[in-house]
Amino acid sequence: MLLSGRVWKFGDNLRSNYFISGKYDPLGRAGKFAEMATHVLEDVDPTFVTRVRKGDILAVGHAFGTGKHLDGPVNAFKELGISAVLGKSFSAAWERDSINLGLPSLVYEGLVEQLEDGDTLELDTGATVARIVNKGVTVPVNPVPDGILEIVDAGGIAEFTARRLGIVNKPRVAAH
């Protein structure tokens, strides 16, 4: 998986209630992720959603995503166009939920240390180096395990499972 984009850097302990204010939880439960995306990180940076672009990357500190979890925030990040979250560490729930929904949340502690807001990053998640383009710097990284990449490349665990079962591109049957 190749990631290339502008970096938005955030610090440690960014809890899930900062991703999207709890007052928007009903939007997530209703599957209104596009509407929910207009409120991503507004309590942290009210202008974030107007400045972020498709393909941008979040670089975060330790303990990203602790707190309550629903599919809404992950899907809102995806709807907004965030291509990945690279961090020093994640809550187990955030890491699992995001990968299962097709948003790579990957631990790259040494890389995150060297990133700054506005950097342009190129990262091949299967390789051993990342490049901070605007600084002309390469940073050694560990490749991401193939199993995680397969799930994310498929778009999440449901799509990955459908492929493995050979039921890709078959219409979903509505429950009665």
Indicate which CATH number applies to the domain containing 78. Answer: 3.20.19.10
Percent of the chain past pLDDT 90, that is, above it, reads 72
Residue 29 lies in domain: 2-165
Does a structural domain hold residue 175?
no
- pTM beyond cutoff 0.85: yes
Write the burial class of residue 128 (CB in 10 Å: 0-12 exposed, 13-18 middle, 19+ buried): exposed
Does a structural domain hold residue 170?
no
Does a structural domain hold residue 128?
yes
Count of domains observed in the chain: 1
In this predicted structure, the answer to whether residue 169 has a pLDDT above a threshold of 70 is no
Does a structural domain hold residue 25?
yes
Average pLDDT over residues 157-167: 92
In this predicted structure, the answer to whether residue 22 has a pLDDT above a threshold of 70 is yes
Distance CA 133, CA 59 (A): 15
Q: Are 49 and 38 in contact (CB under 8 A)?
A: yes
